[in-house]
Amino acid sequence: MVVDGLRYTKDHEWVKAEGDVVTMGITDHAQEQLGELVFVELPDAGNEYAARKEMAVVESSKAAGDVYCPVAGTVTEVNDALNTQPELINEDCYKAGWICKIQVADAKALDDLMDAKQYQEYLETL
């Protein structure tokens, strides 16, 4: 499932822009590939990341996946609920399963990401 109005990376992160703060998480395709998640290592608020730097880890009982920072910036807030309910990502990856909010360094960087249609087309090539 791909949601309109979000931006996407080739590493299967989604980004929702609200001014210069964005919310990010991993896509339905990513959670589907990982299976039932049992652990999420969240970044710390205040950490700065360059684009495509690993910022979080999601682990299922059989696989671990790195989550990369979709756009350069500073983490302002993390979804603490994932510490005890990692399955929120499986159940609702685009809403309740969000990972963190990022104050983006340069909002124009969002234009480099795919829109829903482009991401859908990208998924079909995999």
**Quick check: 74 binds another protein (CB under 8 A)?**
no
Candidate segments 5-13, 18-26, 54-62, 100-108, binder of another protein by CB under 8 A: 54-62
CA distance 126 to 115: 17
Among 77, 83, 95, 118, binds another protein (CB under 8 A): 83
Tell me the site size for another protein, rule CB under 8 A.
18
Pick from 10, 20, 39, 76 the residue near another protein by CB under 8 A.
Answer: 39
Among 11, 41, 48, 115, binds another protein (CB under 8 A): 41
| 64 belongs to the binding site for another protein (CB under 8 A) | yes
